[in-house]
Chains A and B, each alone.
Chain A
């Protein structure tokens, strides 16, 4: 998951890498691995030891995309979004629309940076079809099934809107 903190111009990647024991985790924030041990947790807040230091965090207000929390007395607003790669992959390739679907749709608007296949090539589910640039990030659009690329509907350097067809794959 990707996180942004209001007033701080920095994007954070955060994930749990491993569960080390009861209530103890190895988490990764950007490139730093950290040891986190939960002391108490409820829907209202959490107390934990992060790298040998105690912290108390209150969860005030939560939506799926935004969290208002108080970290050791300091109010912080965090916006979170799943990595665009994940969204696109999930929505176009994995979300259960089945392999019968012909068209590969773009789930995001963007500029075509690179087309990785040509018409007639054979692709497998998950192979990169093209790379789009959106919100200053490059996102790989992957095939939603095994098949043959029948038609490419985008042009190198061109732009695509959300739900535009990228390619027909048979």
Chain B
């Protein structure tokens, strides 16, 4: 039985794991870099160990150092969170070798999931449909061109070592393909020192729909419904929701069965996510398995009533999944907005710095997973995800309105955030009607709408702004003039300061 878990991560996900551990009476070990001395995960864990410099390679990706801490702290398990070492099969292997329970799939299964080609081959064998494309890694640009012409442009060039939207190019003709092939190769070599590219048909107006899956060491597989994550920027998710507006009960069950087959096909254990593209004609194509706890897992927790981290720990303990597929009932509607520290108008460039003040929303059906607190800092060294704001409602509309309310309540001082963007998106008719696609932002001119909304907001608030400015100016005037009575008057309001 797991008694002490080292969390090889930081930020909101480290806090999320700590929460469940506390509820289960499991001790937690936090690790932190130079940048994270004052971070909340350090304060909330049972123990905390410094593991190195701010740069991830010298701390959160330093396998040997983390192993040292696992051994010296007496941790019997490690939770990798997402990102960092979560899908690194070398790290999983290192843990296996040292008899540390890695809360996730086996290194062999992870290796299979991480290799897009091997994974695709396993899916074809299991009769799980995949996107048309090259049967394996293409030999060279010429080979890629041949396949592209066979399946028809536009096609995607994908680095098998990419992920999170990196190492992907969409090309429309032979010329673009040649250029794209070179740049993906270059990127991949500079990132991981090697390159291997596959070609896939680029499907237009697609939706990104994924399934939460779980499989225990006894071979029981279940799916815990779908999540629609179509609203993205640069192939990275912004807003997720469950259920998907285009998945009915029949589809949910049909694709869900494919998901269980997929989990079996790679001998997956623990929780994972099977990602699909849904073409406009309703066809589902398997893309990949994310061999980790997903960022957007809270919305699944909302509609299933499960604690997914607890389920992970149970499975890691060798227990059988304590329910059957038929026991799972989807309840209500959930939405997640990823609150990123970024400037929408600077092409989503990261925005970092100290956060003097923050107000975290709460209320019925509102959940906010975040590492923010007044006085914390958004570091330039790590992910721009500051908070995950999730809402639940009996109906989609209730969930949407709760989200709008929570977004309005969420105040983060010090950095630019994606909050205004989400308010604009959630108010569009297209979003309300569930007309989602991965090119949503571009298709519906969302950035222009955001600009208009910001101006409208200023217009609505202009008199309040002037009123505040008048009071403020009078205050300074009174200090300059130093008239005894006005000065006393303001002093009283400022508590004598």
Contact = CB atoms under 8 A, between A and B. Distances in A.
Contacts of A58: 357, 413
A82 B51 CA distance: 56
Interface in B459-497: 459-475, 489, 493-495, 497
B473 A69 contact: no
A7 B455 contact: yes
Contact of A71 (B413, B461, B489, B497): B461
Given A16-B474, A58-B413, A76-B458, A29 B467 contact: yes
B457 interface: yes
A110 B455 CA distance: 33
A47 B470 CA distance: 13
Given A23-B493, A73-B408, A14 B470 contact: yes
B411 interface: yes
Contacts of A16: 470-471, 474
Contact of A69 (B459, B468, B474, B493): B468
Contacts of B408: 73
B458 A7 contact: yes
A63 B249 CA distance: 60
Contacts of B467: 14, 27, 29, 34, 36, 48, 50, 55
Contact of B413 (A1, A7, A60): A60
Main secondary structure of the interface of B (DSSP, over half): helix
A80 interface: yes
Nearest to A41: B493
A67 B455 contact: no
A59 B455 contact: no
A1 B473 contact: yes
A100 interface: no
Interface string A8-20: 1010101110010
A41 to B, nearest CB: 5
B493 A38 contact: yes
A24 B295 CA distance: 48
Contacts of B475: 41
A115 to B, nearest CB: 33
A41 B408 CA distance: 22
Contact of A1 (B454, B458, B470): B470
B494 A29 contact: no
A59 B413 CA distance: 11
Nearest to B490: A41
A interface, how many residues as a size bin? Answer: 35 or more
Contacts of A32: 463
Nearest to B356: A44
A76 B463 contact: no
Nearest to B463: A29
A128 B468 CA distance: 34
A87 interface: no
Contact of B468 (A7, A15, A46): A46
A38 B455 contact: no
B464 A46 contact: no
A72 B468 CA distance: 11
B411 A70 contact: yes
Given A3-B466, A69-B468, A80 B473 contact: yes
A57 interface: yes
Contacts of B454: 7, 74
A6 B472 CA distance: 18
B341 to A, nearest CB: 15
Contact of A12 (B357, B455, B459, B466): B466
A78 interface: yes
A95 to B, nearest CB: 14
Interface string A47-90: 01010000101111010000101111110101010000000000
A32 B454 CA distance: 25
A34 to B, nearest CB: 7
Nearest to A62: B472
A105 to B, nearest CB: 24
Nearest to B457: A74
A5 interface: yes
B464 A12 contact: no
Contacts of A55: 464, 467-468
B29 to A, nearest CB: 38
Contacts of B493: 23, 38, 41
Contacts of A8: 455, 458-459, 462
A67 B469 contact: yes
B479 to A, nearest CB: 11
Closest 7 CB pairs of A and B: A57-B468, A14-B470, A71-B461, A74-B457, A76-B465, A12-B466, A71-B465
19 contacts: A3-B466, A3-B469, A6-B458, A8-B458, A14-B470, A16-B474, A29-B463, A41-B493, A46-B468, A55-B464, A55-B467, A58-B413, A60-B413, A69-B465, A69-B468, A71-B464, A73-B408, A76-B462, A76-B465
Given A8-B458, A43-B494, A74-B460, 4 more contacts: A5-B465, A5-B466, A16-B470, A27-B467
